[in-house]
Amino acid sequence: MGEVIEELAAGLPGGAVITDPAVAGAYSADMAGFSAAGTPLAVVLPRTAQEVQHVLRTASAHDVPVVPQGARTGLSGGANAVDGCIVLSLAKMDRILEIDPVERIAVVEPGVVNAVLSRAVAAQGLYYPPDPSSWEQCTIGGNIGTGAGGLCCVKYGVTAEYVLGLDVVLADGRLVTTGRRTAKGVAGLDLTRLFVGSEGTLGVVVKAVLALRPAPPQQLALAAEFPSAAAAGAAVCAIMAGGHVPSLLELMDGTTVRAVNAMARMGLPESTEALLLAAFDTPDAAADLARVAELCTAAGATEVVPAEDAAESEMLLQARRLSLTALEKVSTAMMIDDVCVPRGRLAEMLDGVAAIAAKHGLTIGVCAHAGDGNTHPVVCFDRHDADETRRARESFDQIMALGLELGGTITGEHGVGLLKREWLAREVGRTGMELQRGIKAVFDPKGLLNPGKVF
């Protein structure tokens, strides 16, 4: 392996190849639980597409696996190292190359942090909608790799809908450009969409052309408290069936509400079994909120609190922003799940998770992007208690199964990685897996890119 290190170093600037085990170990895993991580041969930090090509040519020549990484904020083990691999960190490729207000596009490198891009385009009156909860840390390359979403997806959609074109380095070091810079384009197969959500298994993104929108008006929010998940679910269905297009529609179950109360003393009623948060960024947001408030009341809300201005809106949304932090304090570890179900079955999902929690004697809180049915059950457990850890893993699997039973999918935005490989096979079936593995073989015939992930 010394020869591999020498070849890598020969084509990279000083300091770009890390072999110190203590330093390299910090790059070995993302934030997922229950996902094994190996020991990398080296970590490389390129700054240009040409340097990425050099890394992949070297790895291909020596049959060394490569694990691409962004900020390692992922929750499925997709960025975890495998033994003897080259960890390819793209964190230093962090330039915003272009913002074009006429074409409404941004051209960026993969290491650009989501929040940095969002602020840069906002300064020009533009908006990049995908906003994962980790947006202050996660990178655009990681967002593209996992097909990330966020709070605004109910109105604006997920990352895939904003990626117009890509520069990608393939496993053998070749560079391919996909997609376009134009508003429309249907030339050939849509390779751009194929790379989005592929979790670094098909190629390494080194540049992206992203679609932007005009900046929307400041949003206004409301909070509605419900005595049951069923009542909250009925409100969600009424809002969506009524043709409303909220910029945010979030749901917290009673377990999460009580965890937030315990941490932040927000004064939410302990009897609340579901808290629904809705927001609009329309020109007449107050009127839209009023109509949604009526639907919430008709569905059984015990209290509806609309905000009068942006500051009050932020106060109302604070409970949702604190939810994961609050659940993290419940025990020594937590597993954040990611199951998307049809909106009409959201209440069944919440009630089913509550039953699983009771069965295993665990605290499991649920936060949900209710507008698109994307639930995040958070399993809290004591990592030092072997039996409790076992029960946490069993509950995770039962939540996966419940999501599929309800007509859903095993991941709405976090990806498959290591954590959900078995469940992907159950969801797409034997033929689906054969097709996906066949596509993988076309792009990466040696199987060197992020091996063991997804497929």
Q: What pLDDT was estimated at residue 270?
A: 85
Res 1 pLDDT > 80: no
Q: Is 397 helix (H, G, I), strand (E, B) or coil?
A: helix
Q: How far apart are CA 225 and CA 274, in angstroms?
A: 6
In the structure, what pLDDT confidence band is assigned to residue 265 with cuts at 50, 70 and 90? confident
C-alpha–C-alpha distance, residues 424 and 236, integer Å: 28
Cα separation, 230 vs 233, whole angstroms: 5
pLDDT single digits (tens) 376-418? 999 999 999 999 999 999 999 999 999 999 999 999 999 999 9
Residue 54: closest CA among 2, 97, 4? 4
State the pLDDT at residue 266: 84
Q: What pLDDT, on the 0 to 100 scale, is given for residue 454? A: 96
Angle (CA) 82 85 91, round 5° = 95
Q: What is the pLDDT of residues 85-121, one digit of tens each?
A: 999 999 999 999 999 999 999 999 999 999 999 999 9
Q: Where along the chain do its domains lie?
A: 96-214, 220-405
Segment 437-448, tens digit of pLDDT: 999 999 999 999
Estimate the share of the chain in helix, then strand, then coil, as percent rounded to the nearest 5: 40, 20, 40
At residue 268, the pLDDT reads 84
pLDDT tens-digit profile of 283-299? 999 999 999 999 999 99
Per residue in 40-66, pLDDT (tens digit) is 999 999 999 999 999 999 999 999 999
- CATH number for the region 96-214 comes to 3.30.465.10
The per-residue pLDDT for 269 is: 84
pLDDT at 160 over 90: yes
| Whole-number pLDDT of residue 279 | 98
Predicted pLDDT of residue 352: 98
Give Cα separations from 453 to 68, 77, 321, 344, 448 (angstroms).
12, 8, 30, 32, 11
Q: Name the residue type at position 114.
A: N
pLDDT tens, position by position, 298-346: 999 999 999 999 999 999 999 998 999 999 999 999 999 999 999 999 9
**Which residue type, as a one-letter code, is found at position 282?**
T
Mean pLDDT in residue range 365-385: 97
Residue 46 phi/psi, 5-degree rounding, is -75, 160
Helices marked H in 107-253: 114-122, 140-146, 153-156, 191-195, 229-241
Superfamily of domain 220-405: FAD-linked oxidases, C-terminal domain (3.40.462.10)
Residue pointed to by tokens 């992020």 = 450
